[in-house]
Structure 1
Amino acid sequence: MTRFLASDRPGRPHGHPHDRPHGLHQRHPLLAAAWPVGGLLISVAMAACNGPAETQAAVATPATAAPQPAPVRREGNLIVVPEGSPLRERLQVAEIALQPLQTRLSAPATIEAEPEKLVRITPPVAGRLVRLHHQLGDAVKAGDALITMDSSEISSVRAEHAKSQAALLHARQEFDRQKLLFDAEIAARKDYEAAQQSLAAAGADARAASDHLSQLGAAVQEGSRGSYVVKSPISGRVVEMAGSQGGYWNDVNASVMTVADLRKVWLSASVSERDLAHVDVGQQAHIALAAYPDLQLQGRVQYVGELVDTATRSVKVRVAVDNPEGRLRPGMFARVGFDAPARQALMVPAAALLQGQVSTRVFVDKGGWRFEPRDVQVGAQQDGQAEILSGLAAGERVVVNGGVLLQ
């Protein structure tokens, strides 16, 4: 309908009095009423036809974004951080130098009783344990009775001793008598000399019997027949008990009980041969115990071994430690530290070290935002610093923060 209404003659302007639409307006009122609507539709149609092209022309084509530089690039063995890389704001570089290093040598150790303060009570002869005077954990003093035993061997030894003493007495009396007679020129010289020899022999037998008795302990001489008492040679506590009262003890090489004075103990440390030059008698030692992680103890080196263990290449070092509360027990594990003399060492912040599967490396600043990865050998560590044994030289600059971003 729009095309139909627009079929005007070429060259005549719209709205002329002789135009056909004027006649139609008179003859077709409905068509005349539709004219404004038709004009609107024509405008919309023209806009629809022209709109996309005009819209595309009006909208500006967006500019192509500039390419971002790579964070790093490789030039041979060097890592380069190009201009504009965000890593330039995140890397920190510092110069390394020699610094005083106070190291502490550490060695495994076990607690031991002082040898002269630990006694294993072993009966000298087999026999029945008539009485155990103390139980496990009891405190004892030197000279206190520990065990009363009854033994047939003791009876025999005592009988031998008594017999030898009687023979000695008889020989002495006979000698005295023969001497009086000889001095009075009544007895012959041979009788006097025979009495003298008998006295000497009896004396030897008596001394042998006494020695045999003494080997069984001085306390054996007390009591009657086969009964004897074993006394404690030191003050301390009963720390082991193997026998039972009333039982028979026939192993003269095994101890019935053990008495120890643990008010002071030893730590026996195995110090590596290469660290031995830094350990000496009188040196202070720092002790950490597996049983008491929060307990820090101090001690003094009492003895440095004379022999090197060929299997472990270590030397035994004994440290004396006060133990007034008795918390340190023989057999406990510990670690002992010895302060070595301060020395100059090449140090880097531990954060600069990058641990690989087979090596440790750092990044060395070569200038111009170029960095060289370099393997290093690390020694002792102290207060966030690590000792460099090889791979770096004093005065070189290394990445101390952000080095992991260069990998």
Structure 2
Amino acid sequence: MIIRSPSSSAARAMLVVAAGTAALAVLAGLVLGGAPGAASWLERLGLAAGPVRAATAPPPRSDGAIVLSPNERRSLVIEPVGMRMFRPQFVTEGKIATDEDRATPVLSPYAGKVVRILVKPGDVVVPGQVLCTIEATDMVAAQNDYVAAVSGLDKARTAVRLAEINERRQRDLYNGRAATLRDFEQAQADLKGAQADERAAVAALRAVENRLRILGKGEADLAQLRDRGTINSETPIVAPIGGLIAQRKVGPGQFVQGSGGDALFLVDDTTTVWLQAFVREGDSPAVDVGDEMEFRVLARPDQTFRATISHVSPLLDPATRRMVVRASVPNPRGLLKREMFASVVIFTERPTESPAVPRRAVIRQGERAHVWRLDDAGRAALREVRTGLVQDGFVQITEGLAAGDQVVVQGSLFLDQMAADTR
């Protein structure tokens, strides 16, 4: 009978398997024997899911505390309980809007055809600057009335001068007994009538001047019209306030309505804008005038703006079920633009200082929560806590811990498992 020797490749494979088995056996013996560093080697090889508990470690205490070995403590992340400021708040969305208290729609006070447009959207204007001109029949009629009023006043003053001359002459004749009393009294009556006509002419002229000033005519225009009598049908539409031309709704040659028509321009004073925040129906009872807000816009994500609520809408939007709250925000450099989207945080109460732990240190089981607290002797004990607000990755502790207590931040689930295995 011929016995064949195994191939060289098969022999090598058998040797590798035997060597690996022997190495694992030696390493397991070191772990069970409490050899230093063996647990960490098992963790590196992926053979341990958490801190390895030595076979000679003390058993859990009867009061529920777990005595940890130095290796086990080094495998946990432990931090002290600190004090942090917590403030009730909620996050919502909003937008930048025009401050309607500082924005003015510009309307034409009379009907006519647009002749010239002197500004465009985005331009910054000053009070009294001409925005456009209109050929208006009201302007022509007012100028005609002004010319007629000037002529009427001149005529009335001429009549007064003639009446004064006649009254003086009749007075002299009457005193010289060359005229009757009747003629002298008639001359006095004529003088008083002429003076009354002069006063009426002055009042009529002032009324027409006021009409022309309302229509945009200044003193220079009135002087030129008074001296030359030339009528110009072009009427200027001027900016009532200074600010940004936010809208323009008129074009050259367009006919516009007087007074009751659409606005030709919208002048917006952008030094102040409104922040409109949309509050959910469930959060609306907590919001009130005077609450503070912080917000950021997408155009400047690293900059935080602050404001105070100045108006709370009494109604909810039936479509979105949101309540609109508003705040005035100073905008001297024009950083905030209309319709910018904003992420808003509304603070509903004053901040309070409380003990706080990192969020991952708290283990929740239904409505209950607990942490693992370590004492000076290295014993870990389960401590039930009552939690409050969660902000910036920290949990507010209202009961169960005090500042300075050492708690397990990473590795709490491992301690839970150890506690469960000993029951």
Which bin holds the TM-score, normalised by the shorter protein? 0.5 to 0.7
Q: Are 2:272 and 1:258 equivalent residues in the alignment?
A: no
Q: Output the CA distance in 2 between the equivalents of 1:175 and 1:372.
A: 108
Q: Is the 8 A contact 1:160 1:209 kept in 2?
A: yes
Q: Are 2:359 and 1:350 equivalent residues in the alignment?
A: yes
Aligned to 1:321: 331
Q: Output the CA distance in 1 between the equivalents of 2:150 and 2:309.
A: 49
Q: Output the CA distance in 2 between the equivalents of 1:393 and 1:276.
A: 34
Q: Output the CA distance in 2 between the equivalents of 1:129 and 1:256.
A: 10
Q: Output the CA distance in 2 between the equivalents of 1:380 and 1:241.
A: 46
Aligned to 2:207: 208
Shift of 1:377: 1.5
TM-score relative to the length of structure 1: 0.59
The residue identity in structure 1 corresponding to 2:235 is Y
Select 1:242's aligned residue among 242, 249, 266: 249
**CA deviation string 1:370-400 (max 9, x = no partner):** 414444112443xx5x251634442555432
Equivalent residues in 2 for 1:16-165 (5 A)?
Answer: 90-92=75-77, 94-99=79-84, 110-112=95-97, 118-138=103-123, 144-165=129-150
Change (3 A) 1:397 1:154: same
Aligned to 2:389: 378
Structure 2: segments with no counterpart, 5+ residues: 1-31, 33-53, 172-183, 280-285, 316-321, 418-423
The residue identity in structure 2 corresponding to 1:152 is T
**CA deviation string 1:297-338 (max 9, x = no partner):** 668x6xx66655445888643222333xx6642222335779
Q: Are 2:176 and 1:169 equivalent residues in the alignment?
A: no
The structure having more radius of gyration, on CA atoms, is: 1
Aligned to 1:289: 297
SS of residue in 1 equivalent to 2:342: strand
Change (3 A) 1:317 1:230: same
Q: Output the CA distance in 1 between the equivalents of 2:93 and 2:193.
A: 70
Q: Are 2:420 and 1:390 equivalent residues in the alignment?
A: no
Aligned to 1:10: none
Aligned to 1:54: none
Change (3 A) 1:359 1:193: farther
Q: Output the CA distance in 1 between the equivalents of 2:314 and 2:273.
A: 23
Select 2:290's aligned residue among 276, 281, 284: 276
Q: Is the 8 A contact 2:99 2:274 kept in 1?
A: no
User: How large is the Cα RMSD of the aligned pairs?
Assistant: 5.0
Shift of 1:346: 1.9
Q: Is the 8 A contact 1:93 1:399 kept in 2?
A: yes
Shift of 1:117: 6.7
* Identical columns (%): 19
Q: Output the CA distance in 1 between the equivalents of 2:124 and 2:324.
A: 37
Shift of 1:79: 7.3
Aligned to 2:235: 228
Q: Output the CA distance in 1 between the equivalents of 2:107 and 2:368.
A: 59
Structure 1: segments with no counterpart, 5+ residues: 1-64, 280-285
The residue identity in structure 2 corresponding to 1:248 is F
TM-score relative to the length of structure 2: 0.57
Q: Are 2:370 and 1:362 equivalent residues in the alignment?
A: yes
SS of residue in 1 equivalent to 2:290: helix
Shift of 1:237: 5.1
Shift of 1:129: 1.0
Q: Output the CA distance in 2 between the equivalents of 1:120 and 1:275.
A: 28
